[in-house]
Amino acid sequence: MNSAALEQEDQRPALTELSEEEELFRSSIREFAEGEVRPRVEWMEKEAKLDHGLIRQCFDLGLMAIETPEEYGGAGSSFFNAILAIEELARIDASISVFVDVQNTLVTNAFIRWGSDDLKAKYLPQLAEGKVGAYALSEAGSGSDAFALKTRAVDKGDFWELTGQKLWITNGNEAEIFVLFATVDPSAGYKGITAFIVEKGFEGFSVGKKEDKLGIRASSTTELILDNCKVPKENVLSEVGKGYKVSIETLNEGRIGIGAQMVGIAQGAYEAALKYTAEREQFGQSLNGFQGVQFQLAEMAIDLEAARLLVYNAARLKDAGKSFLKEAAMAKVFSSRVAEKISSKAIELFGGYGYVKDYPVEKFWRDSKIGAIYEGTSNMQLQTIAKLITSGK
């Protein structure tokens, strides 16, 4: 390697090294999470819903439109900053984290990339100012096989008529604007899938039951019912028959957000374990004075840093306009494993206290489990990674 190349390598910042602007942004999110989110976590967990005042604060602080251009009322910031926000919020509460995550990495991202000028002008300001968005792809028989969906869209001349049911829709109760996928031609397979913008008030649209979940309990996960739902012709996102491309490429970015959520959960559990083992005494000394405990904390720290590096790398590649598909899949698989592993170990370090709801670590573990499931299961991510590495990419 020549001297010029070496100099260029030396100037490349570490993946976890933040710019001054990024550091300030992270600090502001941490202050909000500690001061406003933490006091509400217990109530939201028990009530299984988000605090309405907290939702309003997320909009007021610009957290619901981080990448949205300023001309549409957003912050005009980077994808990486969205990832920082998701991570910092998950450190305190994964439910508010995924609420912000879906709005940014899936919904507004889909509008920014695929929306016509008219759709952007109509919906992005609403999503920035106060309306929650949701991403509706999954169905009862369409999970990992996302393109097996049955929701049908029929061209009625002046409008589209959608009929079907969606399941496991995050933000379903709070959302007013939905990026929703249906097929215009079942015989065409994935080439019939189309993305539609559906508003909560459209005729024939309703929100069904809310799921009673293991974790992220304050985050609403609902079914959506479309009974001859009338959607304006101009509310097609991208083009008719291009919904498969919209869904795949948007979810590729969304998986980095889930990775950030898992890193935040792991960080919260790790910090709780550090604090508890320093304070808890057994046999005349603190728990962290025992080498066996020290080694466990060290292993947790290693895994956490590795997961963060994978997530940050994928986010940096995305912002740089470079290929990130493999890196996003790797980040999601590994970070979900790390979140579950660290939160489980934290429960063990807390002993009996870790198994009761008076202490935070059991919630971190319950919240971590979804990371291996939504926005593409770990097996689907492994399949993606395997295809890419065996094809030399």
User: How far, rounded to the nearest angstrom, does the alpha carbon of residue 223 sit from its chain's CA centroid?
Assistant: 19
152 beta partners: 163, 183
If you compute the radius of gyration of the chain from its CA atoms, what whole number of angstroms results? 22
State the residue for tokens 């579950």: 340
Contacts of 152 (CB under 8 A, 6+ apart): 162, 163, 164, 182, 183, 184, 186
The verdict on whether 47 is a catalytic residue reads no
Contacts of 204 (CB under 8 A, 6+ apart): 161, 162, 226, 227, 228, 229, 230
| 173: three-class secondary structure by DSSP | coil
Burial class (CB in 10 A: 0-12, 13-18, 19+), 262: buried
What is the number of other CB atoms lying within 10 angstroms of the CB of residue 249? 15
Q: Residues 100, 101, 106, 110: what is their CA dihedral angle, to the nearest 10 degrees? A: 60
Burial class (CB in 10 A: 0-12, 13-18, 19+), 1: exposed
d(CA 84, CA 12): 20
Contacts of 243 (CB under 8 A, 6+ apart): 181, 182, 193, 194, 195, 237
**What tokens were used for 277?**
């083992």
161 beta partners: 154, 230
**What tokens were used for 186?**
């079942």
> Which one of 45, 67, 253, 375 is the catalytic residue?
375
Q: What residue type is 304 in one-letter code?
A: L
Instruction: List active site positions.
Output: 375
